[in-house]
Amino acid sequence: CFFSRGVSPAHRIHPTAHSATGTVTIHQPLNYRAGARVHPADGGQAEEVYEPATGRVICKVLCSGEKEVDLAVQSAKAAFKIWSQMSGMERSRVLLEAARIIREQREEIATMETINNGKSIFEARVDIDISWQCLEYYAGLAGSLAGECIQLPGGSFGYTRREPLGVCVGIGAWNYPFQIACWKSAPALACGNAMVFKPSPFTPVSVVKLAEIFTEAGMPKGLFNVVQGGAATGQFLCHHPDVAKISFTGSVPTGMKIMEMAAKGIKPVTLELGGKSPLIIFSDCALENAVNGALMANFLTQGEVCCNGTRVFVERKILDVFTKEVVKRTQKIKIGDPLLEDTRMGALINRPHLDRVQGFIKQAKEQGAEVLCGGDLYVPDDPKLKNGYYMRPCVLGNCTDDMTCVKEEIFGPVMSILPFDTEEEAVERANATKFGLAGGVFTRDIQKAHRVVAALKAGMCFINNYNLSPVELPFGGYKASGFGRENGRAAIEYYSQLKTVCVEMGDVESVF
Ligand SMILES: NC(=O)C1=CN([C@@H]2O[C@H](COP(=O)(O)OP(=O)(O)OC[C@H]3O[C@@H](n4cnc5c(N)ncnc54)[C@H](O)[C@@H]3O)[C@@H](O)[C@H]2O)C=CC1
Ligand SMILES: C[N+](C)(C)CCCC(=O)O
């Protein structure tokens, strides 16, 4: 598998995955509290949930009110008392069992993710693999989470305890619904915390499956709860006095609001926000790898990826050959029914978002960019897909740094190509953005590669590849792309706190 590892071939193909587009409806409650699916106790405003591939409503999600949010937090609080007292090894075993169940149910979860999100089943399987790998990784760390012992004068000493924070809130975006929930819950639970998770109201479905799996794996009932809804529900969560931490993935404007709310309760926050990341292609690159890298950097999940390298800086010497090849390969991307095995680009999340992406392309043309391919709506032949939210992936040439398409996050399949002449110029232009989530470089010159990534003001940098997600590596942003880290050992810092204990072995020497 091309950007995940450790998947046995038996997990790859499932014979029944093909037929479900346009047929699934969901009737079960989508809130999860105290170890069971429940209808929310209050709120109750219903939002339609779509299948992007067909434009069909697959269910209605009931938004949780203040009372339901409180019940979920209280349920988490009760479970925290049990879970936080368990040893790391005991927690590890439960997380490993959850990872095993996810592997077992991989096809079912990936199919649901595809139906609700619109991404290809091929990619959804990778997302689910990254998800269980994340649980395995933090299960591995759970047993070794510890403080340190520090010798002091006269035989006295101090020690630190790494303690959980309490009830953590996770708020997710719609592009990687299951994976985001795992990236937040795995380190949180490994550290001994409880969690209340709110997915995006566009993709409420798969995270409830995760909650069921956690219970089946042996977590105390109430340890992981799901509330549903949009901004109002999110605000109840962020203001709740019993919430110890908020981890958010989403847009910059919402991230600012989350931070303001957290400030009122002195709650720590992790913010995984948007980006407009640079990918710098030098003329001494391996061209085919660089072309592959540019496609990986722009067209996964219909371009709806926060860390995408959407500003592709190409050394002028290879501009023509690189552009020609990228365009040729982009035109070959198979768009269509996301549940078909050979589809590589499915549907965008919803009609307003598709319109927004189309608006960016229109504006790019008005500002002088040239559409080298795609950018138009795509209507699949299959009649059941005719109301889906498809577009052809787009490559823009003739771009300049001041264009809106180069400055703003589009969150769709739109690549902007920008020529450059010198390394210094490329680095300076790459850094001339309010964002700092990711960046990449393609070159065969190892000194240049390391020099350039060292100069990039971005949290996640790639050399000679792009958009890989090994769970062992910390992920997160600089500047307006947020702070805090997910994945890797680093995430432990954001879901635990240190208690220092100072131990006197002698007598108290009072100054009074
Ligand atoms: N850095 C990262 O890891 C990622 C960042 N993103 C960013 O997310 C954006 C797209 O996702 P969207 O779901 O449209 O973002 P969004 O910011 O509109 O919503 C994200 C989540 O916040 C909730 N929310 C909205 N208003 C809220 C409020 N006032 N209080 C509490 N919660 C609130 C939403 O219901 C949703 O669950 C893009 O800008 C993208 O760059 C998306 C995925 C990953
Ligand atoms: C998995 N990956 C690296 C393609 C994207 C992860 C960040 C996001 O949630 O957008």
What is the distance between the alpha carbons of residues 173 and 161, in angstroms, rounded to a whole number? 33
Instruction: Evaluate if residue 292 carries a pLDDT over 80.
Output: yes
Look up the ipTM and state it: 0.92
**Catalytic residue chosen out of the listed positions 272, 304, 315, 423:** 272
Residues linked to residue 419 through DSSP beta bridges, in sequence order:
314
Do 219 and 97 meet the contact criterion of CB atoms below 8 Å apart? no
Nearest-atom index, ligand 1, CA of 437: 1
Nearest-atom index, ligand 2, CA of 301: 4
Phi, psi of 475, deg, nearest 5: -135, 130
Distance 307 CA to ligand 2 centre (A): 6
pLDDT in tens, 200-248: 999 999 999 999 999 999 999 999 999 999 999 999 999 999 999 999 9
Phi, psi of 38, deg, nearest 5: -140, 160
Ligand nearest to the CA of 309: 2
* Strand-pair category, 157-164 with 149-151: antiparallel
Distance 140 CA to ligand 1 centre (A): 30
Instruction: Evaluate if residue 190 carries a pLDDT over 80.
Output: yes
Phi, psi of 196, deg, nearest 5: -115, 125
Q: In the annotation, is 272 catalytic?
A: yes
Residues linked to residue 46 through DSSP beta bridges, in sequence order:
62
Do 60 and 45 meet the contact criterion of CB atoms below 8 Å apart? no
Q: How much is the pLDDT for 44? A: 80
First vs last Cα of the chain: how many Å apart?
Answer: 70
What is the distance between the alpha carbons of residues 502 and 73, in angstroms, rounded to a whole number? 33
pLDDT in tens, 498-509: 999 999 999 999
Residue with tokens 């069992």: 97
| The dihedral sign for the CA sequence 98, 493, 142, 169 | negative
Half-sphere exposure in the Cβ direction for 244 (13 Å, CA)? 19
Angle subtended by helix axes 88-104 and 106-117, to nearest 10: 70
The two structure tokens encoding residue 494: 């954001």
Ligand nearest to the CA of 301: 2
Residue with tokens 């005719």: 386
What is the distance between the alpha carbons of residues 446 and 72, in angstroms, rounded to a whole number? 51
pLDDT in tens, 22-33: 999 999 999 999
Q: How much is the pLDDT for 9? A: 38
pLDDT in tens, 356-370: 999 999 999 999 999
Instruction: Evaluate if residue 7 carries a pLDDT over 80.
Output: no
The two structure tokens encoding residue 260: 């303001």
pLDDT in tens, 450-474: 999 999 999 999 999 999 989 999 9
Kindly state the average pLDDT of the residues 399-422: 98
